[in-house]
A and B are shown apart, each in its own frame.
Chain A
């Protein structure tokens, strides 16, 4: 099976702090990581390859040159080949423009690596949190999609996907080629091995620029080609600290809490 994993390099949002004086995000010194959900997608691909060792896993990322570090990490974990999609003209793209560029890049990579049976993405990136690029890639390519996947296994011409639902989980059968976006499974993704890590460090990562993707319509990319625009961004007001209860004993604190909640008509 030929699987493509889409990956975004993101700032580790757990490390982001707010500058209390300017009330802005402090991005300096925040480590960049493989988007958490994309790591789940890579693990799902690796698990298919565990069962079907003749499978190939290719990983693609759109972003600046630095994203190669995250691509190398994917190579050191499970990917066989990595591509970076990078060009100044791609900057400022919203999800529609990004998915358009990526779908063009996927067609180009297929010329080099063969057709992909499945495209795995993380459910969403932990910086943008939109959960849109995966389904939009599926639409551009006219592939079926399954979102909120936990696990996937090959079943002849289709995938059996365990999907997280609101009223319990579901098993969805989906014809290949398809797009599957992954959420957090019950298991941890595997770690890189030393051997793979050394190989990843030596690996050549080709970069695809706008020159390699001549079918792209320049009017549909970048800031100008994006239907949505950010009007403003701001740091949310944190609620002021509420009432702190610390009576003589914990039991008395509990009694006091019930009294306060009752007075406030919360219970």
Chain B
């Protein structure tokens, strides 16, 4: 497909309440910089049903234009409806670049869309820049479980598309909204949507595990020793308002559900603070959390690889450390 504009698009995914997911607003920040370098506008794309809040959110985070597609068929995400809507918009307006948050839905739609357009997609990026020689977006992403980084270009196909990991970029401070709002009428017939949401299985109330959106994560590994060993981990998480994570060793031992797993076969996270308790730091675990702003490790073994990535490390028994840590933080917060 030919680019008709030099515009950069950010797909702003919405939450159930119609507000924007954090990652879309985060991407408007580097998006501004890339759009300026490309000499085009910064455009936010919102698809859903009852998504006025997301439209205002996008405008308040610096979009020059917000394009909205609304309809009852977009209430829940489906690959078929959302890909069709995105494809329609791209065909009509011809952006040069598209950024998508690397959420489960973003990574479901991204390749489907790229393949329909027959363009390149770079998945799960952690770095964005403009290649000085060619002017293309230089997409940087980890591979080999985080052992290798690759910078990828898509020189001859437009739009160039990338999914970008949540939490890598920070939202810019809200500005006075001055975006032009474009409401696009595009509908998908029910028979074109070939999947159906039959049931939503929520974890028990209060058990919802939002690792990707968490500001603070307290994780337990093999060192916690058993399901009851997670009690002090949870206690610390409670006082910090943190989400409980776990290493694969703890999940595979059946001490905690897979929804809590951080790492290559679990979630990739980038919180402000990550506290690893009794986690040795296998490469697959590091791949899932080494992007955290601040890492604290508590481990008995002074040679555990987790200390190589930790900002602060305590060599000690987590069952001695955690209760004192919890109490001290409780005092601090009181």
Contacts and interface: CB of A to CB of B under 8 A. Distances in A.
B311 A243 contact: yes
A126 B118 contact: no
Contacts of A166: 103-104, 210, 212
A232 B150 contact: yes
Contacts of A99: 115
A107 interface: no
Given A127-B144, A129-B143, A132-B121, A13 B195 contact: no
Interface string B146-173: 1111111111110000000000000000
A238 interface: yes
A205 interface: no
Interface stretch (B38-46, B49-57, B322-330): B322-330
Interface residues of A, number: 82
Contact of B145 (A129, A172, A174, A229): A129
Given A95-B111, A173-B198, A25 B147 contact: yes
Interface string A207-240: 0000000000000000000111111111110110
B16 to A, nearest CB: 8
A245 B290 CA distance: 20
Interface string A157-191: 00010101111111111110010000110100000
Contacts of A236: 142, 146-149
A260 B312 contact: yes
B208 A167 contact: yes
Given A13-B284, A184-B265, A245 B324 contact: no
B110 A132 contact: yes
B294 A266 contact: yes
Interface stretch (B26-34, B181-189, B302-310): B302-310
Contact of B290 (A144, A226, A239): A239
| Interface class of chain A by DSSP | mixed
Contacts of A183: 265
Contacts of B308: 238-239, 241
Contacts of B296: 257, 261
B312 A243 contact: yes
B119 interface: yes
Contacts of B111: 95, 130-136, 139
B332 A251 contact: no
B265 A139 contact: no
Contact of A170 (B148, B200, B264, B320): B200
A202 interface: no
B194 interface: yes
A230 B150 contact: yes
A165 B316 contact: no
Contacts of A128: 143
Contact of A227 (B157, B272, B311, B322): B157
B284 A136 contact: no
B115 A227 contact: no
A162 B200 CA distance: 10
B223 to A, nearest CB: 13
B203 to A, nearest CB: 5
B309 A239 contact: yes
Nearest to B158: A227
Interface string A41-83: 0000000000000000000000000000000000000000000
A33 B240 CA distance: 41
Contact of B138 (A133, A231, A258): A231
**Residue among A13, A165, A166 with the highest chain B CB neighbour number at 10 A:** A166
Top 5 closest pairs, chain A to chain B, by CB: A227-B120, A250-B320, A144-B194, A228-B120, A254-B324
Given A245-B314, A250-B317, 19 more contacts: A13-B147, A14-B282, A25-B148, A127-B145, A131-B123, A131-B124, A132-B110, A139-B116, A165-B104, A166-B104, A172-B198, A173-B196, A183-B265, A184-B258, A233-B148, A233-B150, A242-B295, A246-B315, A257-B296
